[in-house]
């Protein structure tokens, strides 16, 4: 499986070349550069700067409070070492100019991803998801194996509805338009507008359709090396939400946003390419056409699945998507072209040989999910582990395979207990992630939900 979107070369920091870059951008009508970076949730944080300030941002970086990594969607802070306890020090974010691209829907603005550094040491910020993925990928690349990843993401589009409890209702709420295109399932043409903008952004969008639920869409992204795939998935989520806002709508990547609907997945296809560009998962002479390395990779994903759930299913809401007959995985298993399995082996062979990890939901931070994926694959190959027999037929019988974690707390405990995986991911990152997510879970467990009020207030 070749990489159609290889990393672009780094842009020179030579002053004269930077001046030329600025002049080139200005000639294209660009006067603002939007620099964004992912937080622990995978949400975008950033700053708009005027074009003339770009050399300073590249040289000295932009200052942000490090505690932003410890801040949730409602602005609540978690007490993570290096944040509140240290006086809320800065990180510096420098634009990675190799990711610079004009925004198709916002004339005059160019968009790029930034890298977060500790200003005292110049080293990556411990919580930086992008640098975590760099480090995990480098360990496998040093062994002569390059991970290639293809992301698949689903989302639900909502229209404003002041009369509903949430303030939103499902867009185009008509049943039965599963895997359709055109106006019957998308009367306002949201999908085509979004696809055209994403094509202009150059993130490898290949196509899309309405998904299983009303108002639910899937847009496919092409495959590339792991960091580039994560960058593109990150930008995809940010772009879809921005474009929906321009329509006066909300695009949500929640795992299960509505009680009367299904969930939104984040499936990741992975293959490994050797130094000669050969797909090492392909082996026509082996059973099912899968190499020994592919079997070891499957075994690694199965062995570390409980811990991976914390990265692939990182919210309280994530575990409301799981269950029998949901097409979301429920068991720790694998299968040949089996959509009920956690690890599916698509039917393509040759250069297209790959594994599909179906565990994730769309709330997952792309950098953390892909880092966990690459780490578990590497652990399986290094240990030469063999997977159990593949699943077949009905894929939701717990007598056939162990169950995945059924709650965020259970998944966080599994991550903490998985010594092998946490060593690859790095203890500083894992400790920060566990504190952040357990704090979120504790706040949820103290919160009185509307379900509880309806269930108990009048009867008891």
135-425 folds as: Creatine Kinase; Chain A, domain 2 (3.30.590)
Assess contact for 354 and 147: CB atoms under 8 A: no
Residue 87: the pLDDT is 67
Distance between the two ends of the chain, CA-based, in angstroms?
61
Query: Which of 38-52, 170-184, 266-280, 423-437 bottoms out in mean pLDDT, i.e. has the lowest?
Result: 170-184
Most confident of 172-186, 261-275, 322-336: 261-275
Cα separation, 241 vs 316, in Å, equals: 21
Cα separation, 119 vs 360, in Å, equals: 34
Task: Tell me whether the CATH fold assigned to 28-125 matches the one assigned to 135-425.
Answer: no
pLDDT at 13 over 60: no
Assess contact for 345 and 335: CB atoms under 8 A: yes
Q: Any idea what DSSP says for residue 379? A: H
Confidence grade of residue 8 (pLDDT, cut at 50, 70, 90): very low
Residue 83: the pLDDT is 66
Summarize pLDDT for 308-345 with one digit per residue, the tens: 999 999 999 999 998 777 778 889 999 998 888 999 99
Residue 374: the pLDDT is 98
Cα separation, 395 vs 387, in Å, equals: 16
Length of the chain: 460
Summarize pLDDT for 413-427 with one digit per residue, the tens: 999 999 999 999 999
Sign of CA dihedral 288, 292, 295, 297: negative
Cβ-based neighbours of 21, under 8 Å, separated by 6 or more: 11, 54, 97
Architecture of domain 28-125: Roll (3.10)
User: Average pLDDT, whole number, for the chain?
Assistant: 90
pLDDT at 369 over 80: yes
Residue 10: the pLDDT is 44
Q: Domain limits of the chain?
A: 28-125, 135-425
Confidence grade of residue 393 (pLDDT, cut at 50, 70, 90): confident
List, in sequence order, every residue forming a beta bridge with 71; answer none if it has no partner: 77
Assess contact for 382 and 372: CB atoms under 8 A: no
Mapped onto helix, strand or coil, the DSSP state of residue 224 is strand
Work out the average pLDDT over 422-444.
94
Residue for token digits 């005027």? 50
pTM of the model: 0.93
- Both tokens of 275, joined, read 């130094």
Cβ-based neighbours of 304, under 8 Å, separated by 6 or more: 372, 375, 376, 379, 418, 420, 421
Residue 80: the pLDDT is 72
Residue 453: the pLDDT is 84
Summarize pLDDT for 272-296 with one digit per residue, the tens: 999 999 999 999 888 888 999 999 9
pLDDT at 400 over 90: no
């Amino acid at each position: 499986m070749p990489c159609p979107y290889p990393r672009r070369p780094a842009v020179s920091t030579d002053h004269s070349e930077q001046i030329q870059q600025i002049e080139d951008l200005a000639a294209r009508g660009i006067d603002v550069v939007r620099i964004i970076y992912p937080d622990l949730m995978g949400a975008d944080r950033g700053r708009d700067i005027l074009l003339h300030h770009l050399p300073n941002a590249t040289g000295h970086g932009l200052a942000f409070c490090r505690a932003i990594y410890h801040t949730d969607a409602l602005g609540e802070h978690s007490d993570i070492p290096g944040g509140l306890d240290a006086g809320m020090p800065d990180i510096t974010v420098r634009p990675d100019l190799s990711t610079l691209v004009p925004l198709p829907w916002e004339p005059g603005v160019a968009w790029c991803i930034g890298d977060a550094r500790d200003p005292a040491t110049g080293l990556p910020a411990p919580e930086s998801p992008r640098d975590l993925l760099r480090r995990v990928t480098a360990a496998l690349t040093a062994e002569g194996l390059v991970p290639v990843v293809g992301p698949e993401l689903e989302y639900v589009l909502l229209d404003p509805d002041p009369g509903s409890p949430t303030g939103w209702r499902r867009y185009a709420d008509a049943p039965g338009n599963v895997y359709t295109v055109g106006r019957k399932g998308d009367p306002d043409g949201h999908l085509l507008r979004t696809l055209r903008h994403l094509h202009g952004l150059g993130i490898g969008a290949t196509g899309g359709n309405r998904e299983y639920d009303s108002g639910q869409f899937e847009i496919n992204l092409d495959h590339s090396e792991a960091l580039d795939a994560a960058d593109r998935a990150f930008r995809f989520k940010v772009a879809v939400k921005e474009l929906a806002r321009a329509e006066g709508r909300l695009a949500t990547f929640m795992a299960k946003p509505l009680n009367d609907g299904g969930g939104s997945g984040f499936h990741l296809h992975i293959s490994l390419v050797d130094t000669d560009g050969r797909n090492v998962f392909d082996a026509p002479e082996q059973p099912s056409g899968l190499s020994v390395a592919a079997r070891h990779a499957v075994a690694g994903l199965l062995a570390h699945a409980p811990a991976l759930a914390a990265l692939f299913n990182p919210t309280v809401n994530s575990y409301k998507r799981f269950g029998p007959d949901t097409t979301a995985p429920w068991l720790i298993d694998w299968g040949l072209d089996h959509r009920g399995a956690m690890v599916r082996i698509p039917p393509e062979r040759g250069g297209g040989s790959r594994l599909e990890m179906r565990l994730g939901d769309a709330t997952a931070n792309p950098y953390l999910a892909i880092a966990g994926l690459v780490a578990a694959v590497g652990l399986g190959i290094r240990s030469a582990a063999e997977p159990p027999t593949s699943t077949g037929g009905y894929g939701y019988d717990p007598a056939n395979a162990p169950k995945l974690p059924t709650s965020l707390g259970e998944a966080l405990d599994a991550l903490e207990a998985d010594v092998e995986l946490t060593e690859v991911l790095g203890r500083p990152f894992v400790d920060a992630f566990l504190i952040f997510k357990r704090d979120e879970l504790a706040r949820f467990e103290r919160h009185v939900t509307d379900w509880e009020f309806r269930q108990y207030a009048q009867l008891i």
